[in-house]
């Protein structure tokens, strides 16, 4: 596709799973229930929906990420905020040795702060009640 988004035409898919074998990124999954291959569509129905406000034309994973670890934008546009951020942080392609030009870019980890220790400090007096409500819920969920 001209935008780099690879989609699966489920009407033509025969479920042979060869695309999963060939995909260098491991981005294909077989749906045994439907007998076809599935993959992320980058919410193509949302990003091209002109009825939505511009701010809402993003994949659901970008909008739902509570830490804003995901960004979405046009990497071909040097003025796009996602492009500028990717360039500032030294983003890289996944598996560049294959010569593909994926639409995704990956950011290297941020350098540690000078005052951060090499090992995370874990307090001996860990108290879940000091956590924010969402994290307390996750802690209870994982502790059961």
DSSP labels for 124-140? TT--GGGS-HHHHHHHH
What's the whole-model pTM score? 0.63
Burial 61-97 (b: 16+ CB within 10 A, else e): ebeeeeeeeebbbebeeeeeebbeebeeeebeeeeee
Domains of the chain in sequence order: 1-41 (3.30.70.20), 43-70 (no CATH), 73-107 (no CATH)
> pLDDT tens for residues 70-126?
899 988 899 999 999 999 999 988 888 888 777 788 888 877 776 665 555 554 555
What is the per-residue pLDDT across 3-61, written as a single tens digit (0 to 9) for each?
A: 778 889 999 999 999 999 888 788 889 999 999 999 988 899 999 999 999 889 999 99
Q: Which two tokens stand for residue 76?
A: 């071909």
Report whether 8 contacts 39 (CB < 8 A): yes
pLDDT, mean of residues 136-144: 77
The predicted structure's pLDDT at residue 56: 92
């Amino acid at each position: 596709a001209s935008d780099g988004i690879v989609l699966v035409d489920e009407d033509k898919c025969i479920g042979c799973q060869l695309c999963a074998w060939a995909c260098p990124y491991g981005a294909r999954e077989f749906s045994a229930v439907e007998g076809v291959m599935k993959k992320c569509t980058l919410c193509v129905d949302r990003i091209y929906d002109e009825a939505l406000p511009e701010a809402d034309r993003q994949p659901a994973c970008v909008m739902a990420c509570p830490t804003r670890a995901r960004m979405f934008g046009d990497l071909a546009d040097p003025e796009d905020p996602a492009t500028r951020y990717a360039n500032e942080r030294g983003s890289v392609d996944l598996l560049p040795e294959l010569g593909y030009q994926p639409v995704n870019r990956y950011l290297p980890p941020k350098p540690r702060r000078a005052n951060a220790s090499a090992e995370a400090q874990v307090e001996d007096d860990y108290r879940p009640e000091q956590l924010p409500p969402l994290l307390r819920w996750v802690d209870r969920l994982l502790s059961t």
